[in-house]
Amino acid sequence: MQQPQLLKPPSIFKHFVILITLQLQEIPIVSLSPCRSFCGSVPINYPFGLDDGCGAPQFRHMFNCTNDLFFQTPSGAYKVQSIDYDKKSMVIYDPAMSTCSILQPHHDFIMTDVQSAIIPPSQDTVFALLNCSIDSPVLNHYKYLCFNFSGHSCNELYGSCNAFRVFHLLTNSSPPCCFTSYNTVKFMSMNILDCTHYTSLFNTDGLRGVGPLDWIYGIKLSFSVPDTGCEKCRKSGGACGFDTDTEGLLCLCSSTTNSTLECAAGTGSMMASGQSNAPRIFYQLAMILGSFVYMVMKFISEFEL
Ligand SMILES: *[C@@H]1O[C@H](CO)[C@@H](O)[C@H](O)[C@H]1NC(C)=O
Ligand SMILES: *[C@@H]1O[C@H](CO)[C@@H](O)[C@H](O)[C@H]1NC(C)=O
Ligand SMILES: *[C@@H]1O[C@H](CO)[C@@H](O)[C@H](O)[C@H]1NC(C)=O
Ligand SMILES: *[C@@H]1O[C@H](CO)[C@@H](O)[C@H](O)[C@H]1NC(C)=O
């Protein structure tokens, strides 16, 4: 068959590619939501927010994203190492804190009253007060605040850790120490406690038979999520937030639309949830497929002419 139409397929193919490209451009790569959902590699979901007006108002102004995520308390900005949204816990690390391998001048760990109430250190986070004076309240009147956990006594720290051996060397005996919970640190500053250093460790339930060198140092916070019907907003494709003036709850649907409870169909940020993304992608695939079938039909009909 001698047919000039044989030149057609490439041009039809080109049309098809252009069509697909146009279709794909409709899928926004950047989220429409005014709320950032990552800081570095740490995912930011409700109840937390980086941008003012995002997340739950209770957690307002607690975070700072300067390359890394920082949790801010009156005693400093602590690097957030991880957030577990299922277990509702967040691990922070105080770079100025002493650990088994490094001795640093003491400073207090202080949280605001709101922080102590909604995101306090977890039950399995233990504070170790070290090099306490014999007059320390935790050795006298408040002795009962000290405990041993998983078979460990705080004296082990002096023997096992290079950083803490110095206390032992200077006095040729082990200065008093105390394993205690956050509440002790909350109500008594290090000056009142009369201990020169502290360290903290978490996941203490699993440390039976594990030496101090292998303990995990840092602070695990356990947060509560206000029950405000955020699920409904998220399912509609929005991000939960609040009015920055009144702190009244809002469902942030896009940079131009807010709603009180949930987003109207089609206004939600497409990247806010995988679910809301799916229908649009199917729609676009159907469009592409439709165009393709149309092209093929056209091609065939032209051939038959
Ligand atoms: C955020 O945290 C960093 C890290 O400590 C700190 O240097 C910076 O001042 C903080 N930024 C704000 C806006 O608070
Ligand atoms: C341990 O505490 C004593 C006071 O109780 C202090 O004089 C000494 O400097 C402390 N040791 C270190 C290494 O800071
Ligand atoms: C912790 O263990 C040490 C050493 O085994 C022991 O001397 C101390 O009395 C224990 N402290 C508490 C509060 O049980
Ligand atoms: C939606 O709410 C956010 C957070 O309060 C605010 O920054 C934004 O201006 C609001 N947008 C509209 C269109 O009202």
The residue nearest atom 6 of ligand 3, judged by CA position, is 153
pLDDT reported for residue 277: 44
pLDDT reported for residue 287: 58
User: For residue 242, which atom of ligand 4 is closest to its CA?
Assistant: 5
User: For residue 53, which atom of ligand 4 is closest to its CA?
Assistant: 4
The residue nearest atom 12 of ligand 2, judged by CA position, is 167
Domain ranges, ordered by start, for the chain: 4-28+273-304, 87-222
For the CA atoms of 30, 36, 39, 40, what is the dihedral angle to 10 degrees?
0
CA dist list (Å): 231 to 113, 250, 262: 27, 12, 9
The residue nearest atom 2 of ligand 3, judged by CA position, is 153
pLDDT reported for residue 169: 79
CA atoms within 13 A on the CB side of 304: 6
Ligand approaching nearest to the C-alpha of 166 = 2
| 144-187 confidence digits (pLDDT tens) | 999 999 999 999 999 999 999 988 877 778 899 999 999 999 99
Distance CA 179, CA 146 (A): 5
Stretches in the chain below the pLDDT threshold 70: 1-32, 265-305
Task: Say yes or no: CB of residue 131 within 6 Å of ligand 2.
Answer: yes
User: SS3 sequence, the chain?
Assistant: CCCHHHHHHHHHHHHHHHHHHHHHHCCCCCCCCCCCCEECCEECCCCCCCCCCECCHHHCCCEEEECEEEEEECCEEEEEEEEECCCCEEEEECCCCCECCECCCCCCCCCCHHHHHHCCECCCCEEEEEEECCCCHHHCCCHHHCCCECCECCHHHHHHCHHHHHHHHHHCCCCCCEEECHHHHHHCCHHHHCEEEEEEEECHHHCCCCCHHHCEECEEEECCCCCCCHHHHHHCCCEEEECCCCCCEEEEEECCEEECCCCCCCCCCCCCCHHHHHHHHHHHHHHHHHHHHHHHHHHHHHHHC
Ligand approaching nearest to the C-alpha of 144 = 3
Distance 61 CA to ligand 1 centre (A): 11
Distance 39 CA to ligand 1 centre (A): 14
Residues in contact with ligand 4 by the CB-under-6-Å rule are 53, 241, 243-244, 250, 252, 256, 258
The residue nearest atom 4 of ligand 2, judged by CA position, is 133
